[in-house]
Structure formats: C-alpha cells, structure tokens
Structure 1
C-alpha cells in the first residue's frame, strides 16, 4: 500500500484549523517570535472567530485581517502577472484596505450604513485601525455584527466588477447585508427541528421576487431524466422551464443537473440576485460541505463556478409541498418520448394535465 499524507494529531487524519490551534497550545516549546512594538493583528485574528456571523464569513474576516484576500496587489506579490489597478475606481494600487475602506464605492457604502463614520477615525488608511473600529469601537452603538455582511458584499461587488464588468448599486449592497444578517440572526434562535417549518412559514414570503425553485426527476431504467424550474423574480414572475436529458446516474445527479440548468437560465436572463430553492436536502448539504462529497466534485466545482457569476446566489431547502409545480414540470418532461425543452409562462399542452 502506498504511503499517504495525513494529520496524525487527529483520529481521522484530516487536518482542521481547530486541531492546528490545539497542537499549537499543546506543544508550546517552539522558538518564540521576536517582540513586536506597535499594533499587532493577533488580537484581531483571534476576535474573528467570535463575530456573530456564519462560519464562512468568520473565515473570510480572518483572511482579511491576515492579508490573505486575493486582491491584485497580493496576487502580484505571488508572481501572478497582471496590473494592480483597481477596476472600480482606477487607483494604482488595489490593496486590501483600498478595496474595503478607501475605494469610493466602499467609502460611500460605509457612509450610507448605520455604522458611525468619521474621516479621522473610520475609515482610514490603516487596515488595523479600520478593523479595530468595527470589532470593538462600535459595539455599544450596534446591536449586531452587520459589518461582517457589509464587508462580504463589498467584496462581492468588487468581484462582479472585475469578472463580469457589473456595477452593483450601493443601496443594494446595504439592503442585502441587512437582510442576510437579520435572517441569519433569526435562524439562530430556532432549534434544529424548527428550522424547516420556519423556512416554509416565514422566510419564503419575506423576500418576494428573488426565488427560483428547481427540481430533478429520475426513475430507474428510463431513457430520460427530467428537469424543471419556476421563477418568482421581478419581471419574470411565473416564468418556468422544463426539459429532459439523457438519464442521469442517480436521483441526486438529476437534482444537481437540474440546479445547474436553472442557474444557467437565471444568468442568461441577467438575474444576479437569486435564491435557488430545492426540496432535496442532500443537495443543500453537498453545496455547503463539498469536501464531504468527493464523488460529486466536478458538479460542485461547476456550481461554485456558476455562483461566482451572481452577486447573490444561495441554495436552500424547501419542503416538497412548496415545490409541487416544479416537481410536476420535471416529472412530465421525464416521461416525454423524445427530447423536449420548454421555457415560457404557460406550460405546453402536453404538460397541462400535470401542472
């Protein structure tokens, strides 16, 4: 048997950040770092994990304060060719502090937010001062950690400009940050067994005009798999899509392919703020924990790549009772005897009985 790399400090041999910190505490007999006079990022790094926000956002904040964000200046330092000019404002040096605090869209976003600003205190030309202000100075005046979502969506806005030449409205950035932070805070109050009913009863109606429900249909030994989606997006409310493709390997593959098709359709319609809803809970788990599903790695890479095309693209679970229309679309398309693709507000005649 060939030798393989492994992290022997933990039973499953899989390295985690938590286990790394534990080893750091257990084995302190390492050469001490030299004393540093002046501000240090260590306290900021430690506090990142205490922010009240999702784990992925905590990790994003940690990357920000440790200088690991892939801004152009950092990429240039790592030997990746290309200019380091900011695509949003034309500044000669796109650094981390510039993107989040000095770029005009970022400055305006902070000015429009509820977070107190003052040119002498925030935002400034110092990343340490700016993050120190957000982490500790505004706590008495702010009830939540909404700034974490603001930073996240400033980054998304920067990426949309760099990769899609899409200028995002600053008020949309703040609205998304506020909505996401409130929904996340509400979700933390619910116990695990109450979360799904809460999604059905409260979250779906709370953001009208931003939903695309998807479903895949699969049956063993049949020629086709069916795919369907239904939109409630503003300007495209009631628009539906249905098609069949060569039979997928498993029902879960069919669900993945249906989601990918729906995402491509929304992108082609230039809808960049969409919540994709599916009644397949396994699909939602796969997207949130891709490392645990190596058999679907290529599909998950495609989904993550597609998500980068959106300003906001979430994938959530909804009960089957809320997905009956799309289930019918996918099932009827699967039963067709030849290839069919349909996209309209009205189903074709052959679909009418099942919709």
Structure 2
C-alpha cells in the first residue's frame, strides 16, 4: 500500500481493446511521463473510453475524431500506438524502462525524483551519488560492483548493522575482537585488513588513507590515488581485494578458518587476472561471431533495414535495401509517428520491411539489422519480458507465419550504411510517407548518393 503512489507515477496503460481505459483520467499516452490525453476544448465527455477512438470497421485510430476532440500535440502520440490484432484486454506496462517491465533500479530512480520534487530546501551535505555511479563503471564482476555499492550505502551485514536492525546482540569484530564492527572497520581498520592493503602495495597516505570514513577511503582508492602516483596495475586490483577481505571475514565466522592477509592478497590478484583473461577470450569469441559472412551467403532474398529515431522529432524514419538472388536491389524508406524508444523504432522498421517484402511476393527472407538487442530478444523468445512491445510482437509473429522461411540476423553497422542512409534521409523530410521501388527518388539520391550508388 505504501508503494502505490510510486507505481501510479510509473505505470502506463497498454492499450488492447481500449474498453477498460478512460481517455481523460487514465495514464495511457506514451509521453516522457505517463498521462491522460488533453482535450482541445472545455467541453468533453468525462466517461469517454479509448475504444471510442478506434474505428470498428478498419480497426485503426479514428483520425477525424482524434483531431476533433483531442489537443493537436497529443494526436501524434496516440497514432504511434499500435492496435493489437487480437481482442486482448488493456493491461499495464512500466514507463521508465524500455522493456515496460519493472526493475528495482528504475523504481529507485523514480522514487528519488519524486522525493526531490517534494523536498524542502536543506543544507547541502557531501553526497555519495557520484562515487556510487563510479562503482558501476569499474572493470570487475557484477557481484563485486554490487558489494562495493553496498559498502558505500552502509548496507553490508556487518555485526554493528545487524545489531542496529535487532538481528543480533553482538557488535564486536569476529576477527580482531574490536567493540564495534562497522563497514569501515571491516574493510580498512581491522588489523588483518590493514595488513592486506600493505601487502597489496597500496601506500598509506597520512590524512587520506586509511581514514575513519568508508566514503573517503573508497573515494581515495577509486579516484585520487592514481593522481598521487599509484600505478594503475595496482589500483585495478582494488575491487578484488575489497571482496576477498569480506570473504576472509566470512570464512572466520562460518568456517572457523583464519585466512592470512598474504593469502587474501594472492587469491585476490589471481582472481583479478583470471577475470581479465576471461574478458579478452569472450571479446575474441564475440568478434568472431559477428564478423560478416563472406563465403556462405544466406538462402533466398536478403533485406537489410534500419531506423532513425530522435527524441526531439515527431517522426522517425526507416529504410531497407532488398537484394534478391540475382543481386538486384530494391530500395525502400518510410516515416511514421515517433515511438517510445529507438528499440521500438527498430522493431517497427522490421515490421514494415516484412510487410513490404510480402507485398513483393518474396517468401524466403533473411532480414539483417545492426541492432543486436532486437536480434537477442527475438532469438531468446522472451517477449513476455517486454510488455511495452507486446502489440509489436503479436504483429511480428503474424507476419512471420506468412513466410515460407524467415530469419533475423545481426550485421555490423559498417555493413548497413545503405539502409541507415535511407532511414536518416526519410526522417529529414519531416512528412509521413512510404516508398518502395527499384529506383531511388531524387531526394534520396541527392542525400545519400555516395552511400547508395
């Protein structure tokens, strides 16, 4: 119940039949923040439903009615929403994420924004926000990033924190017996921890490191230490040293094992080297996987497509280059009302390319895109994780069923410059249109002559 205001601020109605969504009171417009539609005059029907704006015959938005009762700036937003083929009920999606699925991170960001909007002026104090953001850019594993972020947030379950939360009565340090085991004591002040830092060749700087503040110590290790002459080869191992100090402490509590500072340093350095080696191997495999295929050409026709989207433009552009078995090319481009995100635009461009190739009676197709995320979503078949794209996925599977064979593959951006040029040229025109032909119109030839010739 306490989280209801937060959910109401971030949820947007996802239109199905439109029977359960009120035009003037429910948050259903795909704007920067979910909101109801705005009437264009003082007199309006308060009980109007979204279904009343859909033409029952064509099953499309009734543009004439939209323009007559809704503010003109809201009409393009409504027209960008696809109406599902199936008669499914209206549902909800989470507006702050591209997928439409709720995440703790996006909820936290929205909650912070809401608190800031209602907060009273206060005396400014040192903030850990910048340092917390820095943590997520560290070159280390995700679990270690999360641990360091938790240390900055004072949420590591050390004895003093557990006692404060009435989970334990003991506050003393399990390694050295100090009266109070805080996060800073665990990582920097406990004698085994201090020895670990010395063996890792992290120099002690009087007044800077170590200090009585977790924030100051981590800030020193992640930023100023490099400027003071500490080599990057040493500082790059800091995340693993922090992690294995924590592991050594837990081994003492749960296994009764005393891990020496020297062993802690050696294990940390070994794990850091192994992780960096794994990243190099993974990158090499990824580069091999996405090299353009030169020897084995896909069967049937190939169609590369792309979208051009900008948050300040009311329209987005799409382009495609269809190459048949004989090498003959057909070019196409279109514009449409801007969707929520670039990913929406990429998927809309794919749907338009699928419709266009079906109209040309090409039933064996390989579609090519430089949007790796789109390929992954469709390959993994996890469209249920993307509520904001539910209608588009319904359309995709319907069109997919009309091909004899149909596949989607990733190509590097450098291999997709023709479709990209068509998409950008279409968006630059600023009018809604659709064009598919073996010959380029004059405006396209002039805009992208070097890329398209």
Larger radius of gyration: 2
Query: TM-score, normalised to structure 2's length?
Result: 0.39
